[in-house]
């Protein structure tokens, strides 16, 4: 069978075996659309059914999470951990707490994570987990009770050599602290390397909190460098106002750009003088308030409820909120507004139609599995420090992160050239990530 026909039949089988998992299908489709030339070059991959093996998680765990709110009412949520692929190292990937979480979301994230982690060049496999629990509006005690109940099942599946979770949307330092405390209590082991994103007071690593946002901006900076440009004076829009967005904004400002808008699920704020990052941190990290609070505190800023932040004209866009947040209409608005660079801070924030629109318009586009790999790379550095009971300075850790992002950029760029698609970071990232995992799977036999 010719490779494209074979890939169509593999995709058909994935859809049939995983009905209703729309986001998982989308993530698989994007990879399959890129890897045909690599399969042509390496017939041994098809022979060993590497793609089919990559599309089937090694293990999928679904469990009940009962917990009690502050009024004594009992709630039941669903917990997930999908251990996707361990060819390169222990399963590694975050936990997401959001009401939209179901198996299809966890599998799309886990599938992406396998290639992303391979791209970092570090010894980490891919996995993802989470729950349909909604932390919004919950007290610290409620979040703690939920995390303790979640870990009461999860602990038996994870470990520093097995599976190492971290944060993702809705899971940050507070949640990782509660999860780590419960793991330690149940197992009677101070196993620092079982979770990453820990607080600095108990085994966390410098720059992990900043790493995803900083890393995405380092990647964008490399893209600009290849065309002889820089962030200096660039007008930038970053969507979201969570962990990734806040530190992307901070780094853009350090590199001389101006972030004029950011958002949350209630709408967006515009601040032509540049988003005040200290104010944003106070609102989002300390007060856990809504984004309109920002405009209320800055007289010249405005809040626009219920609309897409992509209607704000910019030269560089860094989507850092959620999957499929850039529709084809948003892409057209961005292109008309003069945007020439899109760098995914979030996982799969750009819809397939929007990616096609960007490609057709010559917009340089960096997929999340390359551009947001700084978070998981810093997690791997945290594991390294935990294993050697060491802790590095902020400056050294940031330098390591910058080198890792620059290496990922160089590999994506070179692989795209090698496969006759210069400047196509999607092709470069998918093929380079795929080759690395494929080689490790082949070497380990039929597993
Ligand atoms: P957070 O929970 O800290 O922040 C998410 C932000 O996105 C919030 O401001 C949230 O607003 C906003 N958001 C969510 N849905 C929408 C929507 N439909 N429209 C507008 N805004 C929305 O998550 P993170 O910053 O950690 O994660 C963001 C993205 O980055 C995710 O795709 C995640 O998978 C990815 N990522 C995260 C990494 C990490 O280390 N944390 C690493 C690599 C990727 P609201 O509060 O209103 O919901
Ligand atoms: O999507 C991601 O790469 C993350 N949420 C970070 C995973 C990690 O293990 O640090």
What CATH number should be reported for the domain holding residue 263?
A: 3.40.50.720
Both 153 and 264 in one domain: the answer is no
What lies within 8 Å, CB to CB, of 390 at 6+ separation is none
Question: Does residue 203 lie in a domain region?
Answer: no
Q: 334-340: which pairs have CB atoms within 8 A and are 24 or more residues apart?
A: 334/310, 334/363, 335/361, 335/363, 337/311, 337/312, 337/313, 338/313, 338/314, 339/313, 339/314, 339/315, 339/363, 340/315, 340/316, 340/364
Question: Does residue 371 lie in a domain region?
Answer: no
Domain end marker among 362, 379, 413:
362
Q: Which residues of the chain have pLDDT under 50?
A: none
Both 302 and 231 in one domain: the answer is yes
Distance of CA 240 to the CA centre of its chain: 13
- Find the residues whose C-beta lies inside 6 A of ligand 2: 92-94, 113, 116, 166, 168, 196, 347, 375-376, 379
Q: Which residues pair with 305 in a beta bridge?
A: 267
The rounded distance, in Å, linking the Cα atoms of 425 and 116 is 13
The rounded distance, in Å, linking the Cα atoms of 429 and 266 is 33
Both 21 and 114 in one domain: the answer is no
Maximum separation of any 2 CA atoms in the chain, in Å: 64
pLDDT for 3 equals: 86
Contact 314, 338 (CB under 8 A): yes
Which tokens is 147 given? 């995390």
Total tally of structural domains belonging to the chain: 3
Both 234 and 329 in one domain: the answer is yes
Closest-CA residue to 82 (of 154, 182, 139, 160): 154
The rounded distance, in Å, linking the Cα atoms of 385 and 405 is 19
The rounded distance, in Å, linking the Cα atoms of 416 and 436 is 15
H/E run at residue 154: helix 140-154
**Closest ligand by atom to 350 CA:** 1
The rounded distance, in Å, linking the Cα atoms of 363 and 337 is 12
Both 331 and 275 in one domain: the answer is yes
Domain end marker among 362, 377, 396:
362
pLDDT for 4 equals: 87
Atom of ligand 1 nearest to the CA of 345: 30
Q: Model's pTM, two decimal places?
A: 0.98
Q: How many other CB atoms are found less than 10 A from the CB of residue 419?
A: 21
pLDDT for 82 equals: 99
- Take atom 3 of ligand 2 and give the residue whose Cα is closest: 376
- Cα 277 to Cα 89, 128, 260, 266, distances in angstroms: 36, 29, 11, 19
**CATH number for position 78:** 3.40.50.10860
The rounded distance, in Å, linking the Cα atoms of 376 and 113 is 9
What lies within 8 Å, CB to CB, of 46 at 6+ separation is 3, 6, 39
320: Cβ below 6 Å to ligand 1?
A: yes
Range of the domain at 301: 211-362
Q: What is the per-residue DSSP string for 210-229? A: HHHHHHHHHHHHHHHHHTT-
The rounded distance, in Å, linking the Cα atoms of 55 and 413 is 25
Both 31 and 148 in one domain: the answer is no
Domain end marker among 15, 34, 54:
54
Question: Does residue 376 lie in a domain region?
Answer: no
Question: Does residue 285 lie in a domain region?
Answer: yes
- Sign for the pseudo-dihedral over CA of 185, 189, 192, 193: negative
- Take atom 10 of ligand 2 and give the residue whose Cα is closest: 376
Cα of 375 from ligand 2 centre, angstroms: 6
Cα of 117 from ligand 2 centre, angstroms: 9
Both 183 and 225 in one domain: the answer is no
Cα of 321 from ligand 1 centre, angstroms: 4
Atom of ligand 1 nearest to the CA of 211: 40
The rounded distance, in Å, linking the Cα atoms of 283 and 281 is 5
Q: Do strands 302-305 and 59-68 pair parallel, antiparallel, or not at all (unpaired)? A: unpaired
Both 227 and 138 in one domain: the answer is no
Cα of 304 from ligand 2 centre, angstroms: 30
The tens digit of pLDDT for each residue in 144-182 reads 999 999 999 999 999 999 999 999 999 999 999 999 999
Question: Does residue 272 lie in a domain region?
Answer: yes
350: Cβ below 6 Å to ligand 1?
A: no
Question: Does residue 319 lie in a domain region?
Answer: yes
Both 36 and 139 in one domain: the answer is no
Both 216 and 358 in one domain: the answer is yes
Both 9 and 133 in one domain: the answer is no
Active site residues: 128
Both 100 and 140 in one domain: the answer is yes
Question: Does residue 103 lie in a domain region?
Answer: yes
Question: Does residue 294 lie in a domain region?
Answer: yes
Helix (H, G, I), strand (E, B) or coil at 254: helix
pLDDT for 50 equals: 98
């Amino acid at each position: 069978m010719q490779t494209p026909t074979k890939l169509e039949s593999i995709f058909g089988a994935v859809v049939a075996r995983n009905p209703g998992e729309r986001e998982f299908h989308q993530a698989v489709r994007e990879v399959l659309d890129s890897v045909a030339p690599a399969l042509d070059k390496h017939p041994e991959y098809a022979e060993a059914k590497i793609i089919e093996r990559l599309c089937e998680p090694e293990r999928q765990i679904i469990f009940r999470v009962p917990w009690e709110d502050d009024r004594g009412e009992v709630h039941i949520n669903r917990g997930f951990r999908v251990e996707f692929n361990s060819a390169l190292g222990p399963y590694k990937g975050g936990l997401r707490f959001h009401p939209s979480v179901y198996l299809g979301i966890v599998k799309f994230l886990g599938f992406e994570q396998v290639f992303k982690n391979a791209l970092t060049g570090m010894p980490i496999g891919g996995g993802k987990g989470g729950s349909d629990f909604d932390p919004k509006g919950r007290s610290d005690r409620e979040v703690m009770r939920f995390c303790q109940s979640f870990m009461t099942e999860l602990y038996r599946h994870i470990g520093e050599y097995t599976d190492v979770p971290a944060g993702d949307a809705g899971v940050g330092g507070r949640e990782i602290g509660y999860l780590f405390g419960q793991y330690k209590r149940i197992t009677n082991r101070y196993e620092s390397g079982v979770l990453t994103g820990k607080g600095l007071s108990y085994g966390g690593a410098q720059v992990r909190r900043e790493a995803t946002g900083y890393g995405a901006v380092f990647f964008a900076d490399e893209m600009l460098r290849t065309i002889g440009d820089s962030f200096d004076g660039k007008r930038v829009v970053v969507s979201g106002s969570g962990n990734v967005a806040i530190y992307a904004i901070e780094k853009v400002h350090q590199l001389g750009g101006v972030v004029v808008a950011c958002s949350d699920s209630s709408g967006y704020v515009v601040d032509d003088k540049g988003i005040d990052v200290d104010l944003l941190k106070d609102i989002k990290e300390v007060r856990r308030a809504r984004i309109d609070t920002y405009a209320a505190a800055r007289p010249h800023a405005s809040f626009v409820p219920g609309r897409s932040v992509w209607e704000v004209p910019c030269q560089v866009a860094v989507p850092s909120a959620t999957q499929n947040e850039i529709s084809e209409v948003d892409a057209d608005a961005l292109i008309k507004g003069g945007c020439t660079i899109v760098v995914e801070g979030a996982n799969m924030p750009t819809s397939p139609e929007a990616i096609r629109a960007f490609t057709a318009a010559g917009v340089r586009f960096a997929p999340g599995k390359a551009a947001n790999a700084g978070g998981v790379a810093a997690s791997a550095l945290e594991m390294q420090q935990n294993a050697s009971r060491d802790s590095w300075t902020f400056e050294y850790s940031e330098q390591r992160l910058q080198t890792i992002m620059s290496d990922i950029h160089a590999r994506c760029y070179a692989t795209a050239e090698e496969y006759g698609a210069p400047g196509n970071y999607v092709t470069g990232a998918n093929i380079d990530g795929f080759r690395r995992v494929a080689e490790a799977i082949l070497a380990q036999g039929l597993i």
